[in-house]
């Protein structure tokens, strides 16, 4: 006995699904563009990208495929005039690690996830520093990297609060019949 | 959409991350090998976003002004006292400057001095932060038919800001004097000794390579030097300050943390430009 095939998706539904799938990437890119407006804080673009990427890879990994992370990393490198590819590699490594730990992270409290995020931000800053040294072939000071990691850790709660509201709304829309 | 069997799709999704990481290494190599390609891509991207940033500039500037207004209202009294005192001092300096100007005019007449032509400049708006954590730069929004070219010198209303390093269709990038890659030949005005001002990514660039016996003194004025044909002589840069460790640093006149508008001067100098520009020098536009 065979069941009936699922009804074909209507156009509106398809648009809705596509918009929902593209939303995390689009929002991250938009935040990066906005972060480039000069407000007196240098290095805001990469500091904004990291919390978005970590949040979506923990709570909605399907919405942020590695290809999108690659694109966002390249976008950030080009926007912030960093050596091309360094941000791409950092973001991809972070995504890989976080998706591996996500089963554990999803069950933790907000504070624990934030602490884990601080560790990830420090690791990302270290990797970026290393790439900067290797690609530029000269030693650069560590302080700006630490500063960026701290800024990014400080941005995480705000970004995560807004995004978890959006994530809940999206889940509700998906579970609705 | 292509239909794939479930195991194949799973294998592909598991493979995509390592493949993309390998691609990231490839991108790095490509960016290293072909710097011109990376630069073109960057300028194309910033060209595309320059109008958006220029539009965003208005509300951002309004908010910033409101905050500054609030701050200045809070310390109105102290500010007023300070301004009164400064005004008094400036009045004395104005008298001295007027006397010196008259004296200078007399000397120039006697020597048949040929004055230098006033350099052409254009005023452009700073629209975005063009630096990352390891770079200090700003992006300028410029019109489509601009005369901006590499090597032009940016000044704000007080002093030297930096040099134009990349030019696109609607945007240009200025490397600030505080950037780690910035090396500016300067003259210490008191001793006329030459030195290099080296950016550190901090607020105050460091002074290096001054001649023996004429160490920079606290409070001495620093101006640009015409050495190497990159800058004209005598642009105001800053004042020598000692760091906590005793190393001489320059407190810049320009307020690099709140750049709104910069003036781009064309002195027609082509010294020390990025490599690809040296291979194919851009002609100075006719005026």
- Residues near B137 by Cβ (< 8 Å), separated by ≥ 6? A81, B129, B130, B131, B162, B165, B173, B174, B175, B176, B179
Beta-carbon contacts of B39 under 8 Å, excluding residues fewer than 6 positions away, are B166, B276
Which residue of chain B has the CA closest to A152? B133
Q: How far is A111 from chain B (nearest CA, A)?
A: 27
Phi, psi of A134 (to 5 degrees): -70, -45
A-B contacts at Cβ under 8 angstroms: 126
What is the average pLDDT score of chain B?
85
CA distances from A44 to A49, A149, B166 (A): 9, 10, 21
Q: How far is B28 from chain A (nearest CA, A)?
A: 4
Distances (CA, A) of B169 to B45, B48, B87, B162, B175: 11, 9, 44, 20, 18
Domain extent listing, chain A:
11-175
Reported as type and span, the H/E element at residue A111 is helix A110-136
CATH number of B235's domain: 2.40.10.350
CB B161 within 8 A of CB B259: yes
Shortest distance between the Cα of A62 and any Cα of chain B, in A, equals 11
pLDDT at B3: 67
Closest CA of chain A from B51, distance in Å: 12
Helices (DSSP H) in A2-85: which residue ranges? 11-35, 44-59, 66-80
Q: Predicted confidence band at B287 (pLDDT cuts at 50, 70, 90)?
A: very low
pLDDT tens digit sequence for B4-32: 678 887 777 778 888 888 999 998 888 88
Q: How far is CA B241 from the centre of its chain?
A: 20
Kindly state the average pLDDT of the residues B229-245: 88
> Tens digit of pLDDT for each residue in B156-181?
988 999 999 888 888 899 999 998 88
What pLDDT was estimated at residue B281?
Answer: 47
Query: B261: which chain A residues are within 8 Å (Cβ-Cβ)?
Result: none
| Residue B146 belongs to some domain of the structure | no
The pair of three-digit structure tokens given for residue A79, joined into one six-digit string:
């926007």
In a domain, B264, yes or no: no
Strands B248-252 and B236-242: antiparallel
Percentage of chain B surpassing pLDDT 90? 25
Q: Given B45, B128, B201, which is nearest A37 (Cβ)?
A: B128
Q: How confident is the model at residue B284 (pLDDT cuts 50, 70, 90)?
A: low
pLDDT at A146 over 90: no
Task: Tell whether B228 is covered by a domain.
Answer: yes
Higher pLDDT, B143 or A34: A34
Range(s) of the domain holding residue B194: 183-253
Model pLDDT, residue B280: 45
Whether residue A36 and residue B128 make contact (CB cut-off 8 A), yes or no, is yes
pLDDT 10s digits, A45-90: 888 889 999 998 888 888 888 889 999 999 988 888 888 888 899 9
Distance from C-alpha of A40 to C-alpha of A44, rounded to nearest angstrom? 10
What integer pLDDT is reported at residue A109 of this predicted model?
A: 87
CA gap A166, A169 in Å, rounded: 5
Task: Yes or no: say if B226 and B194 are a contact pair by the CB < 8 Å rule.
Answer: no
Residue B199 lies in a domain: yes
Stretch B51-77: mean pLDDT: 87
In angstroms, the separation between the Cα of residue B233 and the nearest Cα of chain A is 30
Residue A64 is predicted with a pLDDT of: 85
Which of A45, A78, A141 shows the shortest C-beta gap to B41?
A78
> Residue B7 and residue B205: Cα distance in Å, rounded?
58
Of A79, A147, A148, the CB nearest to B45: A79
- Confidence band for B274, pLDDT divided at 50, 70 and 90: low
Residue range A149-167, pLDDT digits in tens: 898 999 999 999 998 898 8
- Looking at the domain assignment, is residue B128 inside a domain? no
CA-nearest of A76, A75, A53, A78 to A66 is: A53
Residues in chain A within 8 Å Cβ distance of B258:
40
Q: Is there a contact between B60 and A85 if contact means CB atoms under 8 Å apart?
A: no
Angle (CA) A30-A148-B254 rounded to 5° is: 90
Structural domain includes residue B229: yes
For residues A113 and A68, what is the distance between their CA atoms, to the nearest angstrom?
23
Q: Could you report how far apart the first and last alpha carbons of chain B are, in Å?
A: 57
Residue B36 has pLDDT above 60, yes or no: yes
pLDDT at B238: 93
Taking only the tens place, the pLDDT of each residue in A114-129 is: 999 999 999 999 998 9
Q: Encode pLDDT of A5-57 as tens digits.
A: 555 667 888 888 888 888 889 999 999 888 888 776 777 888 888 999 999 88
Which pLDDT score, from 0 to 100, does residue B213 have? 84
Choose among A38, A96, A145: nearest Cβ to B138. A38
A38 touches chain B (CB under 8 A): yes
Query: Does this model's pTM top 0.90?
Result: no
A141-148 CB contacts, 8 Å cutoff, 24+ apart: A141/B200, A141/B201, A144/A42, A144/A43, A144/B133, A144/B134, A144/B201, A145/B133, A146/A122, A147/A43, A147/B133, A148/A43, A148/A46, A148/A47, A148/B133
Q: What is the pLDDT of residues B182-218, one digit of tens each?
A: 889 999 988 889 999 999 888 899 999 988 888 888 8
Question: Distance between CA atoms of B30 and B26, rounded to whole angstroms?
Answer: 6
Tell me the C-alpha distance between A65 and A78, whole Å.
20
Q: How far apart are CA B239 and CA B220, in angstroms?
A: 6
Q: Which of B17, B25, B41 sits opposite A66 (nearest CB)?
A: B17
For residues B252 and B177, what is the distance between their CA atoms, to the nearest angstrom?
9
Domain count of chain B? 2
Report the C-alpha gap between A83 and A63 in whole angstroms.
Answer: 27
Mutate to test the interface with A, among B132, B136, B173 (most CBs of A within 10 A): B132
Does residue B272 surpass a pLDDT of 90?
no
pLDDT per residue over B105-115, tens digit each? 899 888 888 87
pLDDT tens digits, one per residue of B87-98: 999 999 999 999
First to last CA, chain A: 25
A82 touches chain B (CB under 8 A): yes
Read off the pLDDT band of A1 (50, 70, 90): very low
Token couple for B13? 């999704």
């Amino acid at each position: 006995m065979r069941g009936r095939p699922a009804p074909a998706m209507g156009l509106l539904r398809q648009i809705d699904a596509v918009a929902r799938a593209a939303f995390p990437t689009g929002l991250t890119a938009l935040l990066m563009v906005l972060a480039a407006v000069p407000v007196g804080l240098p290095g805001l673009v990469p500091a904004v990208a990291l919390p978005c990427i970590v949040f979506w890879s923990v709570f909605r990994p399907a919405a942020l495929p590695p290809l999108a992370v690659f694109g966002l990393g390249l976008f950030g490198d080009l926007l912030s005039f960093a050596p091309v590819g360094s941000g791409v590699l950092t973001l991809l490594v972070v995504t890989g690690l976080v998706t591996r730990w996500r089963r554990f992270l999803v069950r933790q409290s907000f504070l624990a996830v934030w602490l884990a995020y601080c560790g990830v931000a420090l690791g990302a800053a270290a990797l970026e520093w290393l790439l900067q040294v290797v690609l530029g072939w000269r030693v650069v000071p560590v302080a700006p990297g630490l500063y960026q990691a701290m800024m990014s850790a400080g941005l995480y709660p705000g970004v995560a609060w807004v995004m978890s509201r959006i994530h809940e709304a999206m889940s509700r829309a998906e579970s609705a019949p | 959409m292509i239909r794939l069997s479930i195991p194949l799709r799973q294998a592909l999704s598991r493979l995509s991350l390592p493949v993309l990481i390998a691609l990231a290494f490839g991108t790095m190599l490509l960016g290293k090998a072909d710097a011109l390609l990376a630069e073109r891509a960057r300028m194309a991207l910033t060209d595309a976003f320059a109008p958006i940033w220029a539009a965003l500039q208005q509300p951002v500037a309004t908010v910033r002004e409101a905050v500054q207004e609030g701050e200045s209202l809070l310390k109105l009294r102290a500010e007023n006292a300070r301004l009164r005192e400064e005004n008094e001092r400036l009045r004395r300096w104005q008298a001295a400057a007027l006397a010196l100007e008259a004296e200078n005019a007399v000397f120039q007449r006697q020597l048949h001095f040929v004055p230098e032509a006033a350099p052409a400049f254009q005023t452009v708006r700073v629209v975005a932060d063009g630096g990352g954590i390891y770079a200090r730069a700003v992006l300028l929004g410029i019109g489509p038919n601009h005369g901006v070219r590499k090597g032009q010198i940016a000044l704000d209303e007080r002093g030297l800001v930096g040099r134009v390093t990349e030019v696109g269709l609607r945007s240009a990038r200025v490397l600030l004097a505080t950037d780690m890659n910035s090396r500016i030949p300067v003259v210490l005005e008191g001793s006329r000794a030459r030195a290099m001002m080296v950016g550190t990514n901090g607020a105050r660039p460091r002074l290096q390579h001054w001649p023996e016996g004429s160490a920079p003194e606290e409070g001495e004025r620093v101006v640009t030097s015409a050495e190497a044909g990159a800058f004209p002589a005598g642009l105001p840069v800053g004042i020598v300050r000692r760091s906590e460790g005793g190393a001489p640093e320059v407190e810049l006149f320009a307020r690099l943390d709140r750049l709104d508008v910069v003036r781009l001067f064309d002195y027609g100098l082509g010294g020390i430009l990025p490599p690809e520009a040296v291979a194919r020098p851009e002609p100075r536009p006719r005026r």
